[in-house]
Structure 1
Amino acid sequence: MLPTPDTSHVSYERIYEPAEDSFLLLDTLSSESEKTFLTNRFRDGPTPHVIELGPGSGVVISFVNAHAGLLFGTPAILSSAIDVNGHACFATAATARKAAAEHKATAGTFLGPIQGNLSAPLRAGSVDVLIFNPPYVPTPELPRQPGQEDHEVMVSKEKKPTFDDDSYLLSLSYAGGRDGMETTDRFLEELPHVLSPRGCCYLLLCAQNKPEEVKERIRGYGSAWKAETVGSSGKTAGWEKLQVVRIWR
């Protein structure tokens, strides 16, 4: 088991705290099957670019970057992250720096976080590995999209967020709307445009997200597209509670 990055510096009042879903991603990405897949796919050729959407504390992307040499067969990777929550961007940067300093021999190069909404900041075909633990909890509706006043709260060091501010920022990390899929549906529409020709995606889903339907939807993109469950948290009442689906072509 590879060491998990230290997130003791992170304030969880407004940032998603690493939980079962986060650790399932770590276990999946460091499994022998996925190390073999990633090594065979990216050891040769151009330096791979790894992006996590919605990193929260940064524990997942920092893990991948810190242990790049073991996961990819080479530390020559570039990594970064995109989060709509400015506090999460600050936390991710700190987590990634600490983890890379502790594992210099295997660490890749962390380029830093970007504050943005899903894949909007990305160029077409620019991502080799895309990791997304989306807001997957079914809720009556999605939180509103952040406005300018929210961004001021998220980046200001002088303005202390209120309890309502904190609750709103946390809701962005878990509230998935209808079937917990409204944000994921948007992401899946964008996915074919941002992945490079050799790109792959690791997407976390819960049972209520209807993962079998999601996989069929992805296979419907064309005969080259594949979607398979490569990690799960075990079954509850016959359902795999959480799944990590690998998407590639």
Structure 2
Amino acid sequence: MLPTPDTSHVAYERVYEPAEDSFLLLDTLSSTPEIEFLHNRFGHGYVPLVVEIGPGSGVVIAFVNAHAQVLFGSRNVLTAAVDVNGYACRATNETVRKAVPENAASHGRYLGASQGDLVAPLKNGLADVLIFNPPYVPTPELPKQPGLMDLPHPDTKPTFDDDSYMLSLSYAGGRDGMETTDRLINSLPQVLSSKGCAYILLCAQNRPEEVKERIRLLGEAWNVATVGTSGKKAGWERLQIIRIWIE
């Protein structure tokens, strides 16, 4: 089992704490079938760019970066992250730093975390692997979507209301818990490279079978499959990871 990055430095009152969904992503990405997929997809000297959207504590992208040699069969892997929460960006940078021991021979090259809305900071066609643990909890409405000037600067101490708002951005998904995830899925044809794939977490209330059917409607080249689950409750898969890829 590959070590899980240390996130003890993270201020969980304003940054999403690693939980079952985070660890399901780690287990899925390091499973034998997904390692084989990634090796086959990005072998032969290709240098993939892996981007996590909404990294929160940074535990997932730090795991990918620290274990690039195992996951991709090569250290020649670039990793990056984007989060609207500036505190999450700082936390992610530190989590990645701590996850890479000195003189380690397995890690990729981390490019840093950018503050922004979903894929807005990314150029079209550059993301080879996109990872997204979205705000998937169904809520009556989405929190107000912030401009960068609406959030407290990471150099200042946020108020209790600031903390509550930043945490709500990490879990509140609006109708069916899918309003933010739908925006991300709609951006995939622009942001993914020709080899691109995406790993997205869904819960049962997100209606995952309907989500997968919408992805197939993007075109004949688009494929989707469930590649990780947290088990079933009352016949429903509580959490699942879908992989979306282009053939």
Same fold (TM over 0.5): yes
CA 93–128 in structure 1, closer or farther in 2 if over 3 Å, else same:
same
Question: Which residue pairs with 2:27 in the alignment?
Answer: 27
Distance in 1 between residues matched to 2:95 and 2:177, nearest whole Å: 28
Q: Match of 1:227, as an amino acid? A: V
**Contact (CA 8 Å) 1:66, 1:103: kept in 2 or not?**
no
Question: Which residue pairs with 1:127 in the alignment?
Answer: 127
Equivalent runs, 1:51-200 vs 2, <5 Å: 51-101=51-101, 104-147=104-147, 149-151=149-151, 153-155=152-154, 157=155, 159-200=156-197
**Contact (CA 8 Å) 1:85, 1:154: kept in 2 or not?**
no
Q: Partner of 1:27: helix, strand, or coil? A: helix
Distance in 1 between residues matched to 2:30 and 2:103, nearest whole Å: 15
Gaps of 5+ in 1: none
**Contact (CA 8 Å) 2:84, 2:148: kept in 1 or not?**
no
Question: Which residue pairs with 1:43 in the alignment?
Answer: 43
Distance in 2 between residues matched to 1:64 and 1:135, nearest whole Å: 21
Distance in 1 between residues matched to 2:111 and 2:86, nearest whole Å: 16
**Contact (CA 8 Å) 1:124, 1:195: kept in 2 or not?**
yes
CA 245–12 in structure 1, closer or farther in 2 if over 3 Å, else same:
same
Matched, 1:203 2:203: no
Per the TM alignment, residue 224 of structure 1 is displaced from its structure 2 partner at its CA by 1.3
Scaled by the length of structure 1, the TM-score of the pair is: 0.96
**Contact (CA 8 Å) 1:4, 1:59: kept in 2 or not?**
yes
CA 4–102 in structure 1, closer or farther in 2 if over 3 Å, else same:
farther
Distance in 2 between residues matched to 1:200 and 1:148, nearest whole Å: 28
Question: Which residue pairs with 1:240 in the alignment?
Answer: 237
Per the TM alignment, residue 101 of structure 1 is displaced from its structure 2 partner at its CA by 2.5
Distance in 2 between residues matched to 1:69 and 1:211, nearest whole Å: 32
Per the TM alignment, residue 44 of structure 1 is displaced from its structure 2 partner at its CA by 1.7
Per the TM alignment, residue 114 of structure 1 is displaced from its structure 2 partner at its CA by 0.3
- Residue 221 of structure 1, aligned match among 218, 224, 243: 218
Per the TM alignment, residue 147 of structure 1 is displaced from its structure 2 partner at its CA by 3.6
- RMSD across aligned C-alpha pairs, in angstroms? 1.1
Gaps of 5+ in 2: none
**Contact (CA 8 Å) 2:116, 2:148: kept in 1 or not?**
no
Distance in 2 between residues matched to 1:49 and 1:82, nearest whole Å: 13
Question: Which residue pairs with 1:8 in the alignment?
Answer: 8
Runs of at least 4 residues off by over 6 Å: none
Per the TM alignment, residue 43 of structure 1 is displaced from its structure 2 partner at its CA by 1.6
**Contact (CA 8 Å) 2:57, 2:91: kept in 1 or not?**
yes
> Matched residue pairs, number?
246
Scaled by the length of structure 2, the TM-score of the pair is: 0.97
Q: Match of 1:190, as an amino acid? A: S
Distance in 2 between residues matched to 1:150 and 1:115, nearest whole Å: 13
**For 1:124-183, what per-residue CA distance to the aligned partner results, in whole angstroms no more than 9, with x for missing partners?**
1100000000000000110112245533x142x2x3211111000000000000000000
